[in-house]
Structure 1
Amino acid sequence: MAAASLRASQPAMTYLINQLEADLGIKLVVRGTTGTILTEVGSIFAKRTERCLEKIGEAVESLLADGTSARRRQALVSRMNGTQYRAVLALWHEGDSLAASRLLDVSQQSLLRPVRELEKLFASKLVRPLGGRVIFTDAGHEFARHLVLAGQEIASALEEIGRGAAGQRNLRIGALVLSPRLILAEALDEALRFAPRQTVEIVEGSYEELVVRLRNGSIDVIFGALRAPPPFDDLIEAPLQKDPYIVVCRRGHPLALSKRIKAKDLSEYDFIFPTEGLRREVLDALVQRWKLSPPSQVYSNWLPTVVAMVRSSDRLAVLSRWHIESDESADLQALDGLPVPHEPRYVGLTSRASWLPTPFQKHFMDVLAQVVRTRAA
């Protein structure tokens, strides 16, 4: 049945499986009198391989006109080859044809030949010249993005069967600037406690930067404030806990000693304004709503600077509640008597809708959810 679906003869299929088993050093199938069945490892590999092929199909579909039949799409997928795949991936990872040709140790002409074959196959422009080099068009970029995600399915399969590449990160987390770091650290410590061979990479950045990396497959999840809804249809969000914005000051601040605070009391103090982002939008709205008196003397999105300046002066800032409850903000105090009006804000995980976590990745998410529940209680 498998041989028929792949349009291969039974002997050819047997040869391919034998070769794959030899390369991996592990049994994928068990042969008996009633036929051939997958081993447990074989089932894992088969599931990931199927997902890989689906994503290659999505790559092809991104280049085709609406209404193209599934049969036509599959026929085009079957005509792609490994040389074309490697050329596209090299161009993706290096950014241009000059760097990609150096990576593969070939001439630019040799690198681009299989790419031109794909352009002819799909009747679509994948690359364009730029100053003596060649880069992806928008269509080529989207095509390559799907192929990168397809390749990650095989990488995940190898990890799950214990044949992952040396140095491969088992979990890559994008942490937003205002994400509750202590919660993330506690969850990682617990998840890694009994997984000594697993490695985790944490990348900090703005939401806009991390969303690009998430969709490109260079990180697995984003931890921090959700956008509700996410800006792209291929992303999903999993809320963990409400984390509202609050006005904060240093301990011992004149406002912290007041029993009743009114909005007009804030006009006597300078706010530290974010340069951009959701906090800036919230604070701009407060200026109008509470009739505050900007402009501010200090504008910064770098939280260590914001926290340090609030600690050492009578300046105020808008931060998240979980952030000021962390050790790094122990000297700050929330002005609880003056809640900040804004849309409900949740902290959680953002991931690709099509993402299938490995067992370790799923374990981390379960641990993180438990840590959040424990702290919220």
Structure 2
Amino acid sequence: MKKTDAKRLSLKQVRVIDAVARSRGFAEAAAMLNSSQPVVSRTIAAAEKLFGRPIFQRGWSGTEPTAWGEAVIERCANALKLIARAETDLAATGPHPDLAVVLRWHHLDAVAAVTSCGGTTGAAGFLAVSQPAISKSLAAISACTPHPLFLRKREGLEATPHARRLAALRDELRQALGTAGEITRSPAGRLGGRLAVGMLPFSGQALVARTFGGLTGQAPDLRLMAVPGSYHMLAEALRRGEIDCMIGILRRPPPFPDLQERFLYHETYTLVARHDHPCHRRHLTMASLKNEQWIVAPHGTPIRAFFESLFANEGAAPPAQTCEILSFGNAEQVIMNSQAIGLLAYGERQLLDLHPELKKLDIDLPGARVDVGLTVRTQAGETNVLQVFEKTLQDFLK
């Protein structure tokens, strides 16, 4: 039996890390554990200090694990399964013990040491603690088990099957959790963690879908999140670290100094309608389309500003009644199932593969070519996950 390494997660930290991971929030974890949010925060901070790196990060859906934190969380979940299995074994001959709530390393150390040494004096010497400390630990853990852990014999204390099961649990937990040094030194395995991509209205959404499809096979441990929204909503989420990047029409320059833009490819604003729409059978001007039904992006987007400029350039007021949609795919579906005309943004490949139910309107749109790319945090640093995502995007664009 080896002494417990001080640089090891406490069993309390194991429970708290698991609760935060499952509930996606510190307040929610506190409620789950019948504790307080400050206690949960301090416990996580102490665990992160132990490792010298963060386990959790702020995310779009709440508190999320970092790419490295995923490995810690998996170890904690496995440790709690081992404790639950031991509880089941101990309950075979009595009431079900609730070990997970009260169990500490010093409890298991004391049981294992007494089991090995045959008495509290030898155990105290082995663990370099006082004999009363050993007795106190044994009393605390004995109160949670259905049967005595030791029988007093002339030659000392004899371990019962319950004590031997707890001693075995100690070894299992040491193996499952490892030490802080072992975890931080472990080589990086498959790409894991979170990739949260903000998707601006219309532009780049099909590319994100194809890229995510490729990443599901390339990085099966990577949690993928596509978050649609307006520019300012997603930009604020990006600045807070809740998402990792956003894709869409670039602002040139971004309105926030802590954001930077990376060009990917060009798209072209294009008017589309059903293939059998009456507009395809007549000469078109923007003024002549004023009274049509329209599918457009919301106010405040570049494509909406371009839409309104098309009418203004011909001295016509833009239509007051429009259908605003954030999703490119949904917009195409509505156009195919209505008499509406849509102003969407397409790349060259998308136009070549335009759905047969859709047809491009024969009308010239000056200044319709726009830059599409990624927006990232300037000071965030280039994570491995973001590097892989950007490379996969580029591969699909070749």
TM-score using structure 1 length: 0.53
Residue 346 of structure 1: aligned partner: 371
Deviation at 1:231, TM superposition (A): 1.9
The aligned residue for residue 362 of structure 1 is 387
What is the rounded CA distance, in whole Å, between the counterparts of 2:36 and 2:71 in structure 1? 33
Output aligned runs, 1:7-18, within 5 Å. Answer: none
Give the secondary structure class of the aligned counterpart of 2:221. Answer: coil
Query: Cα offset for 1:324?
Result: 6.2
Which residue identity is paired with 1:249? Answer: A
> Residues 250 and 294 from structure 1, CA distance in 2 versus in 1: closer, same or farther, beyond 3 angstroms?
same
SS in 2 for 1:363: helix
Decide whether the 8 Å contact of 2:229 with 2:326 is kept in 1: no
Q: 1:265 to 1:295 in 2, by over 3 A?
A: closer
Answering whether residue 304 of structure 2 is matched by residue 277 of structure 1, we say no
Could you tell me how far apart the structure 2 residues matched to 1:169 and 1:328 are? 35
1:251 shift after superposition: 1.1
Q: Deviations over 1:34-71 (max 9, x none)?
A: xxxxxxxxxxxxxxxxxxxxxxxxxxxxxxxxxxxxxx
Aligned length in residues: 254
Pairs within 5 Å for 1:102-117: 102=31
Distance 1:192 1:276, change over 3 A: same
Q: Secondary structure at the match of 2:196?
A: strand
Tell me which amino acid in the other structure corresponds to 1:331.
E
Q: Which residue of 2 aligns with 1:231?
A: 255
The separation in 2 between residues aligned to 1:301 and 1:152, in whole angstroms, is 32
Are the structure 2 counterparts of residues 212 and 108 from structure 1 closer, same or farther at C-alpha, using a change threshold of 3 Å? same
1:1-377 correspondence runs (5 A): 102=31, 155=69, 169-258=193-282, 261-267=284-290, 269-278=292-301, 279-292=303-316, 294-303=318-327, 306-322=331-347, 325=351, 330-335=356-361, 337-341=363-367, 345-372=370-397, 374=398
Distance, in Å, in 2 between the alignment partners of 1:220 and 1:104 is: 30
Q: Using a 3 Å threshold, how does the CA distance of structure 1 residues 189 and 105 change in structure 2: closer, same or farther?
A: same
Task: Look at both structures and tell me which one has the larger radius of gyration over its CA atoms.
Answer: 2
Aligned alpha-carbon RMSD (Å): 4.5
| Residues 273, 335 of structure 2: 8 Å contact kept | yes
Compute the displacement of 1:182 (Å): 3.1
Quote the offset at 1:355 in angstroms.
Answer: 2.4
Once the two structures are overlaid, the 10-residue window that deviates more, 295-304 or 154-163, is 154-163
Deviations along 1:234-289, whole A, 9 cap, x unmatched?
Answer: 1111110111222222213233345x643443245343454423232222222211
Q: Secondary structure at the match of 1:366?
A: helix
AA partner of residue 252 (structure 1) = D
Residue 275 and residue 19 in structure 1: after superposition, are their counterparts in 2 closer, same or farther (change >3 A)? same
Q: Residues 296, 308 of structure 1: CA spacing in aligned structure 2 closer, same or farther, 3 A cutoff?
A: farther
In structure 2, relative to structure 1, the CA distance for the partners of 1:232 and 1:104 (3 Å cut) is: farther
SS in 2 for 1:231: coil
* Residue identity matched to 1:371: F
**Alignment TM-score, normalising by the size of structure 2:** 0.50
Three-state SS of the structure 1 residue aligned to 2:193 is coil
Which amino acid letter does the alignment assign opposite residue 376 of structure 2?
A: S
Question: How many angstroms apart in 1 are the aligned matches of 2:199 and 2:231?
Answer: 9
1:371 CA displacement: 1.1
* Cα distance in 2, alignment partners of residues 218 and 316 from structure 1: 35
Corresponding residue of 1:129: none
